[in-house]
Structure 1
């Protein structure tokens, strides 16, 4: 086993890991030898790296009532378009090339992140093909001991660091809800994370459970391909947002059904309105749960942990990133439904860098806990969405980030609205629609 010491260990070389490393080097006054990024695939990009090496097998097994469901830890499929315009998705200091289009494909985003890592000299900090098996905080000297398995050399590295920054995202554990009668189903079961291309479903009758971003887009891809016998989408509440999401699917003959009630004999699916369908494949587009198996610690109680027991929600994180019980543990980019995730990662990374260089001092535990408690009564997952401006502005005010949300994002939003609305010469409609959340997706459907 090799030993190495550094000041910061970052888990993950996706967008959040790269921007965190950049600001630690450029603002946090750290050298390349002080920062180690651990990446288990063979290149940067995180979830945008479709062709990365498969994750550890134990991380991808999902079952319901003992029935295995096919999943993957590479949830980006062929022909995927971003669900945000590139003008709003980019980091503040590096735009996407115009040639990538308004809604870039997966490989263009991967290339963008590769160039970003090159420009900021991050490759010297990265351990590729390395899997984090365990992270623990020592009581003797208070440092983090991170055990890393090097896949190429079939060896272990023990890293010792002052801080541990988790940038592995929240697409780690596919979630599949319980279904009454599932054991009776004789067809294929899979999660949307395992979807790759429409050709895999030729002559199948596919039932997609869930109609948010992934479910609606997969439904559109399958319906438009005309390879399936039928495409059925089960949506519990078909409100206006889902109707917009499912536009491509419905225009190409997809069948929309209400919530699933139970599975009966001979693959009969009974829906809440009494209707029945007979799929040969059930695809669960039902999201993910937070999972950090390398951080499992039996000594930490469920109440004091960084994640709720069911994996549904992060907790005890001051300003949504600093673990209150131990500020040397940090999580970047764990909130859901981010308007501009790369930029929000950037605000968080800059704030963290100012803490590392001593410019920003964290308040006492009691004050940090007050901030956490003020958000603890919010129902559901930690969804930023329309809270993004106030959240990012608050971090910028503390850390001195050059550019408030209103100075960076709103001009980009105005420009994007004008592009999307220009075919109809309705700029005002474009701006209003964007504020409602529909223009993004309508424009994306044109590209799709």
Structure 2
């Protein structure tokens, strides 16, 4: 598609990646409509206490309840590593209800995304309570000038309970950016007896608070972030908590799980489940068993785009872990640049990486950056797949860019965007937090053992980034106080990026 014909863009989703895309697209002068099925922006960080009682495993596609966040969630990365390049995630202790901790809870992230939306005048671009039903190449007669494809988007208004209200509407867009996230559709294991087991089973997608599991025997399948956090959440409420890991050796390779077991008398570690018995017994691979009241599957999520119809040009593999083919995790070669994805990669510095991805998409759609020919993009995708397979990376981790081998992340950001470089002290802080989480899962978020380099970086960051944050919000408030909110919002999003304040020279942090 000739990029000079792209003027009107639909963004699917108003979470972290969708808002990043909206800001970058508007910055390039494109008309943006963000469609969000929930009643507010924030994506998964918008907490929803409801669950689907009829489908606690989240087996339906799509799920009825989009939110997967549990009440006790706190960040596992420090807030200093979790901000947009020009709108850092600074504490706002003076604002009511805010969480100033370095590893804040879920509501603080939601408030930050709300602030970002306000600061860059994006609210008027977001169409809330709008579910996208179908996205496909527009029919003949709807082509852009020169015959390039456009996209027909069919959507419907939804009520807070998820029920559809009214007649579906159809609109034609020059391009579509898919940014609906990947933490809604559960990935479930296949275990003998799951379908017949008469007691409670749910995916972590349906877990919110520990109270319903009072005095129960709970088996948690999976020792990843959510599995360990939910185990700790339940430890003071449930009678017993049994963790089931694919590999006991791998689970205890670092001290975190061993410390949890030592600190909580009712917590046990087992190998993977062999079968579930109708009488409530859970039998593990080593032959041990436990009579359980509830099994919670903390087994991750699948990529899911049930609304997207590309006639096979883009597909999710059978395991739900690979979307493809996607050039650089972003553009499907056969449909680029009019179709793109922002937010597919995992284990990256979010939202910084998604900001770079969105920036690249915006530059391409605005005609300021070019993509390779389709055949060259396909070759690059195939080579990437082969390299991952040779490295022994399973298909469901196809988009898990390894943070510990951070060169791939940096190379992407610096190759496709003009974002400032990630400061060394932030990388140190991220790696320090990661190592601490593997040492003591219960206390790592509240430890204060930064080295001098991190302390100096934090001091500069708090002084400079904090002033920038408040100034950007103040400017946005002034811009939207007049009678032309829409015009002001677009001008704000298209304004030059505010410069980063000069670092304050200090030698230590008090």
Greater radius of gyration (CA): 2
Deviation (angstroms), 1:249: 5.7
- How many residue pairs match? The answer is 407
Aligned pair in 2 of structure 1 residues 11, 71: CA closer, same or farther (>3 Å)?
Answer: closer
Deviation (angstroms), 1:252: 1.7
Contact (CA 8 Å) 1:233, 1:255: kept in 2 or not? yes
- Say whether 1:309 aligns with 2:326: no
User: Could you give the per-residue CA deviations for residues 246-296 of structure 1, whole angstroms, max 9, x where no partner exists?
Assistant: 744652231111111112342111111121111110111111111111014
Contact (CA 8 Å) 1:62, 1:71: kept in 2 or not? no
Deviation (angstroms), 1:229: 1.3
1:157 is matched with which residue: 125, 147, 169?
Answer: 169
Q: Which has the higher contact order (CA 8 A, sep 6+)?
A: 2
- Identify the residue that residue 221 of structure 2 maps to in structure 1: 209
Aligned pair in 2 of structure 1 residues 441, 18: CA closer, same or farther (>3 Å)?
Answer: farther
Alignment of 1:257-272 (within 5 A): 257-272=270-285
Structure 1 window deviating more from structure 2 (78-87 vs 107-116): it is 78-87
Aligned pair in 2 of structure 1 residues 88, 241: CA closer, same or farther (>3 Å)?
Answer: farther
- Identify the residue that residue 423 of structure 1 maps to in structure 2: none
- Identify the residue that residue 412 of structure 1 maps to in structure 2: 426
Alignment of 1:122-141 (within 5 A): 122-140=122-140, 141=143
Contact (CA 8 Å) 2:331, 2:340: kept in 1 or not? yes
Alignment of 1:54-133 (within 5 A): 61-62=58-59, 72-98=65-91, 99=93, 100-133=100-133
Deviation (angstroms), 1:83: 1.6
Contact (CA 8 Å) 2:347, 2:403: kept in 1 or not? no
Alignment of 1:367-382 (within 5 A): 367-377=376-386, 378=388, 379-380=393-394, 381-382=397-398
Structure 2 CA distance for aligned equivalents of residues 343 and 246 of structure 1: 33
Alignment of 1:147-296 (within 5 A): 147-151=154-158, 154-223=166-235, 225=236, 227-238=237-248, 239=250, 240=252, 243-244=255-256, 247-248=259-260, 250-253=262-265, 254-296=267-309
- Identify the residue that residue 426 of structure 1 maps to in structure 2: none
- Identify the residue that residue 425 of structure 1 maps to in structure 2: none
Structure 2 CA distance for aligned equivalents of residues 119 and 307 of structure 1: 35
Point out 4+ residue stretches in structure 1 off by more than 6 angstroms: 52-55, 57-60
Q: Secondary structure at the match of 2:315?
A: coil
Contact (CA 8 Å) 1:210, 1:286: kept in 2 or not? yes
Contact (CA 8 Å) 1:306, 1:317: kept in 2 or not? no
| Aligned-residue CA RMSD (Å) | 2.7
Contact (CA 8 Å) 2:58, 2:205: kept in 1 or not? no
Contact (CA 8 Å) 1:92, 1:343: kept in 2 or not? yes
Alignment of 1:369-408 (within 5 A): 369-377=378-386, 378=388, 379-380=393-394, 381-382=397-398, 383-386=400-403, 389-403=406-420, 407-408=421-422
Aligned pair in 2 of structure 1 residues 245, 7: CA closer, same or farther (>3 Å)?
Answer: farther
- Identify the residue that residue 503 of structure 2 maps to in structure 1: none
Unaligned runs of 5+ in 1: 418-430
Contact (CA 8 Å) 2:67, 2:184: kept in 1 or not? no
Structure 1 CA distance for aligned equivalents of residues 51 and 38 of structure 2: 8
User: Could you give the per-residue CA deviations for residues 384-408 of structure 1, whole angstroms, max 9, x where no partner exists?
Assistant: 02377433443444444132xxx32
Structure 2 CA distance for aligned equivalents of residues 220 and 246 of structure 1: 13
Structure 2 CA distance for aligned equivalents of residues 362 and 12 of structure 1: 24
